[in-house]
Chain A
Amino acid sequence: MPVTPMTTKEVAKKVINKESFFILDVRNEDAFQDWKVEGENVQYLNIPYFDLLDGVEEILPQLPQDKEVLVICAKEGSSIMVAEMLSEEGLTVSYLQGGMKAWSEHLEPVKVGDLKDGGELYQFVRIGKGCLSYMVVSNGEAALIDATRMTDVYMDFAKEISATITHVFDTHLHADHISGGRQIAEAVNATYWLPPKDAAEVVFQYEPLEEGNDVMIGNTTIQIQPLYSPGHTIGSTSFIIDDTYLLSGDILFIDSIGRPDLAGLAEDWVGDLRETLYKRYKALSDELIVLPAHFMIMEELNEDGSVSEKLGTLSEKNHGLNIEDEAVFREMVTGNLPPQPNAYQEIRETNMGKITPDDEKQREMEIGPNRCAVR
């Protein structure tokens, strides 16, 4: 039986639809433990491909007969080899085309809602890495927020819906992924905005993103209001779009809050984080729909694959917004930090324009989960 490739798009669809399937991940154990294709109804078996070179007979009893088996490795080469061996044993198997490398880069656009004047808001879900970026569309114009380095996806999407990208924003200087913002802005001659307090060391031109500098998209009343909300980085800025959506960047997530240590000292910024979450955000309408820049676990996805929740609901349910005692809050966000994202210092330097790694190196720097939250 021939082995069939499965695209990242097909796998993303299965995961979003909570389909049940079986993954045989043939990367080494450390890589698997660190990061894998997540899904609520996925079963896993991790056997490194180098333990299967002499044959797959030994693992056959561990594979399901009644379920689809998807073989996954880092780039795809080893998964094809193992899939072919399994196929020769009579199993129907497929492999993940492009491997985890492609999975890390897959973007799934999901419409989050209509804007009051007929415009639309789209969320681009980077399902393998947990990054979320946004496109606001109104009257033939588009704004991008927190774009990833897969710049073609946004530019092609804009073209498809006949919109011109006029403004590109980053809510903060990212440490977990390489921003595509500057590159897109250059390619389509759009304005690139960065919070100046995060941009002290950048080596390129940008517009300072500061509170009060509302930006119009289209000729209607879609306002992007920068709201200074430091804590994850010193410059972190949120947006309120159309009086309805709160783009919270890496400050507030669905089931966690931003970590304050990736660009400086946790001890120094935890106070800002507290102030933003407990004073500035608490003063906003509970009806605002929070759209964060990341998700951490698949349970944070809605039925349609989008990631969003009302601010009022998060105020009740997000543990990070419900720690009355400031000392306890400090301890939670500084005392118990998860490992830092892969290559985060190099990623920050790339986003400042200080270094320009080639595509292959950029891919490698971004391997693994985003790790921007504390829970």
Chain B
Amino acid sequence: MMNSDKVLDAKGLACPMPIVKTKKAMNELESGQVLEIHATDKGAKADLTAWAKSGGHDLVNHAEEGDVLKFWIKKG
């Protein structure tokens, strides 16, 4: 498990909402802080990876626990 500064619950949400909410939550963090995201949308993995890259953030870790996909993104 990783430490995070904020946890976003995006479970049950369909695309594009996980990214919309992630972006909003990220705006409230300082550079270097880590956002933890929980999602169930299968497309979230590829999209969050690509989004983090294009936004200059760092996807530091991800994990699958049952149906839940977890992501840790460090703000760039």
Chain A residues engaging chain B, CB cutoff 8 angstroms: 28-31, 48-51, 53, 73-75, 77-78, 81, 364
Contacts and interface: CB of A to CB of B under 8 A. Distances in A.
B20 A74 contact: no
A50 B46 contact: no
Given A28-B46, A49-B16, 17 more contacts: A28-B50, A28-B51, A31-B46, A49-B15, A50-B16, A50-B51, A50-B54, A53-B20, A53-B23, A75-B14, A75-B15, A77-B14, A77-B16, A77-B17, A78-B16, A81-B16, A364-B42
Q: Number of contact residues on B: which range applies?
A: 10 to 19
B26 to A, nearest CB: 11
Nearest to A48: B50
Interface string B14-38: 1111011001000000000000000
Contacts, number: 41
Contacts of A75: 14-15, 43
Contact of A30 (B20, B23, B50): B50
B47 interface: yes
Contact of A50 (B14, B23, B42): B23
Nearest to B42: A364
Nearest to B14: A77
Contacts of A73: 15
A364 B42 CA distance: 9
Q: Which 8 A-B pairs have the closest CB atoms?
A: A28-B50, A78-B16, A50-B51, A77-B15, A50-B19, A77-B14, A78-B15, A74-B43
A50 B24 CA distance: 12
A51 B51 CA distance: 8
A29 B47 CA distance: 10
Interface string B36-58: 00000011001100110010000
A205 to B, nearest CB: 34
